[in-house]
Chain A
Amino acid sequence: MNFIESSFIYWFFVILLMIGLYGAIAKVNLVKKLIGLTIFQTAIILFYVSIGQKKGAGIPILDVGHGHGPPPEITAAQYINPLPHVLMLTAIVVGVATVGVALAVIQRLYAEYGTVEEDEILEMIVTRE
């Protein structure tokens, strides 16, 4: 039981990553490749966020508001690690940017060749030469 509780998250991330990687490599439809790539990146984001978890800790936002100051004692065990969240904010934005550019390229490919299947596009390129 302890083994499952302590490591199932790593298995989960690896399986998700494998699904995404398979999609990105094996699929012939360009949009499906892109979806596979997105799943792949999401798995990595999940891995990083899972690094920061701590048992019994709350979100990394101190309870400070108007009228009362910070809590008297800030111990690290009360708050989960904020650093992976910061890193993954950047990674998510980078992923979105890549997907945006890829979609623009797919739109242009569709306008040029009339299809988003990679084998048909390659065939059209070869017959044109």
Chain B
Amino acid sequence: MSDQLIILVVIWPLLAGVFSALMPADHKKLALWGLLNLAVTNLLSLGLVRKVLLEGTIHYQVSGWVPPAGSPHLGIELKASVLSALLSWLIGAVALLGFIGGRSTWKTQIGERLPHFMALLFLLVAAFQGLSLSNDAFNLYVMLEISSLATYGLIAFGGGRAYLATFHYIVMGTIGASFYLIGVGYLYIKTGTLNIGDLAQILSQVELTPAYLLALGFLTTGLLLKMAVFPLHLWLPNAYTYAPASASLLVAPLSTKLAVFLLFRVVNDLFAGRIAGELPQWSFFLVVVASVGILFGTSLALAQRDLKKIFSCLIVAEAGYMLGGLWLTDQRGTVGALFHLVNDAVATLALFLVVVAVVKSVGGRNLNELPGLFQKSPLTAAALILVAFNLIGVPPTSGFFSKATLLTGAVASGRYEFVAALLLASLGNLVIFFRVIEIAYFDKVEDTKVSKDGQLAGALALMTALLLVALGLFSQSIMDIFIRPEVFS
């Protein structure tokens, strides 16, 4: 039965989502149902991580069409490497924490549409799991589109300004996914197969003619649109800000990071090692774009006054870190980018949990409503400070180690503009968070009563922020066990 873990991780949330749509709209029962299913998903993915660590990379042929050795793959294959297994566990953990964190907002923001809302949430988790574990190029497109469709429904639920944000997201997201599909099409017309393992083997022996270069270009551009890197970021700040809290707690930490993972697979699996050798101009161009994107995202965040929008703009900056890291010619950049992926997923979750806690404690998200936050909810304040340290890059949080690895890789590649962008971004984050903390701490108010919901939300945010410290303390072993084998294979 443990052979089937890899597929169970994907279909358990899928079935949970399908059956959620049939359940009655009882908030308490649905909370229990959701919690149980997410807990099982977490256990399954932990089992998968253990199995992959013990036995090595798992290949699983859905529908049982195992090819004889030497002949190409028929049907669809799933692959669980150490990194994919880690990601699949990360998805489960973020979903569970986000679910618990969003529970307090159900009454005001969702109401009686909860069964269908939860159906979309579970389908999103299933699609993310499928994305991290699939080994077929077209299947990855289908997973990307399921996650996008579920996200459109979840975000549009916010009403009001969320509608226009969703429409922009639909247009840009579909163009991005279609660019990815064009890339896959160009690869297919030249090679005749869709399996990533077979494609990698064929590509390693062939010369990079215009069709292959264009495939790489369109795959990258499509995924850049999904990652929201400047200048293709226009959909992200509004979409994440106006989404309901339960939706943004699941979508914001994971959606762009999985696009980064896909980009890693394109660059590392398909065009392994050829970027540094044959395409240095691409590396140059994309690292410059990433550096500009980091600075742009940070400046955009500086100009905002809504806490949720500040954090959404910071996601744009973080996407630049990961894009630059992946396209540096030195492989330590890739290691840094992947560790930053894990770090950023947890940090974004913590940020959005802080937003929920802030709204519950002081009643609003705008900077001028923050005074007295430290007095009312010290837990939330502590969480905010920890996440601020993570984003600035203060040890022992994981942000320090990911930035350090990225900087090492950048210096080794000789890309000093990326180094400058990273350091300036730390400075920018320092300014942003100092401004928030200053308003929250130094301005006093009389009424320091906070509801139980607010205290619980603050405690959850602090727990997630402490997870960042744990990630930082174990950063070297995480990188050695899960990331380095994948990158240097």
The answer to whether A and B touch directly, with their CB atoms under 8 angstroms apart, is yes
- Chain A interface residues toward B at CB < 8 A: 21, 24, 30, 33-34, 37, 40-41, 44, 47-48, 51, 83-84, 87, 90-91, 94, 97-98, 101-102, 104-106, 108-109, 112, 118, 121-122, 125
Report the 8 A-B pairs with minimum CB-CB distance, sorted nearest first.
A94-B145, A109-B163, A102-B170, A108-B163, A51-B189, A105-B167, A101-B152, A105-B166
B163 and A112 contact, CB distance less than 8 A: yes
The one of B142, B161, B167 in contact with A125, judged by C-beta atoms closer than 8 angstroms, is B161
From known contacts A44-B181, A51-B189, A97-B149, infer whether A30 and B174 are also in contact, taking CB-CB under 8 Å.
Answer: no
A125 to B165: give the CA distance in the assembly, Å.
12
B156 and A105 contact, CB distance less than 8 A: yes
A101 and B149 contact, CB distance less than 8 A: yes
Contact flags (1/0) for B174-192 with A, using CB distance below 8 Å?
Answer: 1100100110010011000
A37 to B172: give the CA distance in the assembly, Å.
10
Provide a sorted-by-A list of 12 A–B residue pairs whose CB atoms are within 8 angstroms: A24-B175, A47-B182, A47-B185, A90-B138, A91-B181, A94-B145, A109-B163, A109-B164, A109-B167, A121-B164, A125-B161, A125-B164
Which residues from chain B contact A98 at a C-beta distance below 8 Å?
145, 148-149, 152, 170, 174
- Whether B364 is near chain A, meaning CB under 8 Å from some CB there, is no
B182 and A44 contact, CB distance less than 8 A: yes
From known contacts A24-B175, A40-B178, A97-B149, infer whether A102 and B185 are also in contact, taking CB-CB under 8 Å.
Answer: no
- Whether B160 is near chain A, meaning CB under 8 Å from some CB there, is yes
Residue of A nearest to B155 (CB): A105
B167 and A106 contact, CB distance less than 8 A: yes
How many residues of B sit at the interface, in one of the four size bands?
20 to 34
B63 shortest CB reach to chain A, Å: 13
A86 to B370: give the CA distance in the assembly, Å.
55
Which residues from chain A contact B138 at a C-beta distance below 8 Å?
87, 90
B367 shortest CB reach to chain A, Å: 15
- Whether B197 is near chain A, meaning CB under 8 Å from some CB there, is no
- Whether B171 is near chain A, meaning CB under 8 Å from some CB there, is yes
B364 shortest CB reach to chain A, Å: 15
Interface of B is mostly: helix
- Whether B47 is near chain A, meaning CB under 8 Å from some CB there, is no
B189 and A102 contact, CB distance less than 8 A: no
A55 shortest CB reach to chain B, Å: 16
- Whether B378 is near chain A, meaning CB under 8 Å from some CB there, is no
Which residues from chain B contact A87 at a C-beta distance below 8 Å?
138, 194
- Whether B153 is near chain A, meaning CB under 8 Å from some CB there, is yes
B146 shortest CB reach to chain A, Å: 8
From known contacts A47-B185, A105-B156, infer whether A21 and B175 are also in contact, taking CB-CB under 8 Å.
Answer: yes
The one of A41, A106, A118 in contact with B178, judged by C-beta atoms closer than 8 angstroms, is A41
Residue of B nearest to A112 (CB): B163
From known contacts A44-B182, A101-B153, infer whether A33 and B171 are also in contact, taking CB-CB under 8 Å.
Answer: yes
A87 to B76: give the CA distance in the assembly, Å.
12
A114 to B171: give the CA distance in the assembly, Å.
21
A51 and B175 contact, CB distance less than 8 A: no
From known contacts A101-B149, A101-B170, infer whether A112 and B160 are also in contact, taking CB-CB under 8 Å.
Answer: yes
The one of B145, B152, B156, B171 in contact with A24, judged by C-beta atoms closer than 8 angstroms, is B171
Which residues from chain B contact A121 at a C-beta distance below 8 Å?
164
The one of B156, B167, B178, B189 in contact with A44, judged by C-beta atoms closer than 8 angstroms, is B178
Known contacts A40-B175, A47-B185, A106-B167; 8 additional CB pairs below 8 A are A21-B175, A37-B174, A44-B182, A44-B185, A51-B188, A102-B167, A102-B171, A109-B167
From known contacts A37-B171, A41-B178, infer whether A105 and B163 are also in contact, taking CB-CB under 8 Å.
Answer: yes
A105 and B145 contact, CB distance less than 8 A: no
Which residues from chain B contact A84 at a C-beta distance below 8 Å?
188
A94 to B149: give the CA distance in the assembly, Å.
9
Which residues from chain B contact A44 at a C-beta distance below 8 Å?
178, 181-182, 185
Which among B142, B175, B194 has the highest number of chain A CB atoms within 10 Å?
A: B175
Which residues from chain A contact B188 at a C-beta distance below 8 Å?
48, 51, 84
A105 to B242: give the CA distance in the assembly, Å.
14
Which residues from chain A contact B185 at a C-beta distance below 8 Å?
44, 47-48, 51
Which among A34, A84, A97, A101 has the highest number of chain B CB atoms within 10 Å?
A: A101
A41 to B181: give the CA distance in the assembly, Å.
10
CB proximity to A under 8 Å, residues B270-311: none
Which residues from chain A contact B160 at a C-beta distance below 8 Å?
112
Residue of B nearest to A86 (CB): B138
A112 to B162: give the CA distance in the assembly, Å.
11
